Amino acid sequence: MEESKVVQIVEAYLNSFPTMRRTIKEQPIIQNSVLTDIFGEEEDGTISYIVEAKGSESPGTIAGGIGQALQYNYQKRYNNKTENARVVFACPKDVEHILVNFIIPEDIEVWVIDDSGRVFNFQVDQSRESKSELQLPGTFFIEGITIQVIKDAIILINQLGKNSEKLDRKIIQEELEKICPYLSASGHRNTLITLSTLSIINNQNTLTPKGWQLYGLLQESEVKFKRKMIETFYPFIINVLNALLEISKDKNESINNINCTQIEISKKINYLYNTNVRFFNNPRRISTVVKILEELEIIERPSLHQYNILKLIHPLYLP
């Protein structure tokens, strides 16, 4: 696969994200630096993705691409718009046998593209075994969070950050537990990881421009904030709902009485895509989506493993 094809597929993939304004090609991170292959620009003008792409090339060229991505990861901290960006090295799936020989820092995400244009997240475990998981557009790490928790966290971080440019994560977690004790089992550690992934908070644990945009929506209208949250989580909402509908058909059950476990939902999603799907493999992530579905009154659960689908929802058509 040619490098230009990889760039084309990654551009289309990023542009499918609900909050992505546009992609920009061949831009430097700082003045007089090397040009990146792709920037992913959010609605608030910040850069959420910096991508270095290579085609089906030699080991030396692939190593050079990874090295370039590392340079981007260093440079991004010197540009306010890129400081919270995720740095990605993208390449064809047919070079996985080369990638497995490299030690790639955790700060660099590796996306591999198959011949049909699907994007997979590539990882190598400690035994040097490679693992590729399909990464659906608009999906991200999600655990231990609800829309209400995001709302409470934004308001709290705004209050704590009024007199400080940097906040202690432990203090945020402790204060959040006072507000949201029902999610305190994890100490809200995963809550803050998700907020970082969503670019709501930065490395100083204060609000980013996107965080301030959401705070502004909260001040303006609860409905507008809710609409933005549905848009953000829609890739999760629609895939879990689709799995529930498929399970109801398989078991010949009414959508008002679907009996299944979260492990079954996870397996059904993998089955429908005919591969392992990142962020849907862990039942805890499914549990988080289920809580959001209950929160939005899309489903109700009379018991732990019983689901009643009440309605479908879309951010553009929210009453």
DSSP code of residue 251: T
Res 126: pLDDT: 58
E strand or H helix at 123? strand 119-124
Helix crossing, 147-160 with 209-220: angle to 10°? 110
Alpha carbon distance 140, 143 (integer Å): 10
Residue pLDDT, tens place only, 199-217: 899 889 999 888 999 999 9
**How many Cβ atoms from other residues are within 10 Å of residue 311's Cβ?**
9
Residue pLDDT, tens place only, 163-181: 888 999 999 988 888 888 6
**Residues β-bridged to residue 238:** none
Do the Cβ atoms of 13 and 121 come closer than 8 Å?
no
Buried-exposed string 243-268: b where 16+ CB fall within 10 A, e elsewhere: bbeebbeeeebebeebebebebbbbb
Res 90: pLDDT: 97
Res 185: pLDDT: 58
pLDDT reading at 184 higher than 60: no
With bands split at pLDDT 50, 70 and 90, how would you rate the model's confidence at 319? low
Amino acid present at 301: R
More confident position, 165 or 267: 267
Res 202: pLDDT: 87
Alpha carbon distance 136, 236 (integer Å): 9
Res 180: pLDDT: 82
Res 124: pLDDT: 75
Q: What Rg do the C-alpha atoms of the chain give, in angstroms?
A: 20
pLDDT reading at 254 higher than 80: yes
Res 125: pLDDT: 64
pLDDT reading at 293 higher than 80: yes
pLDDT reading at 53 higher than 50: yes
pLDDT reading at 51 higher than 90: yes
What are the backbone angles phi and psi of residue 299, rounded to the nearest 5°? -130, 165
* Average pLDDT value over all residues in the chain: 91
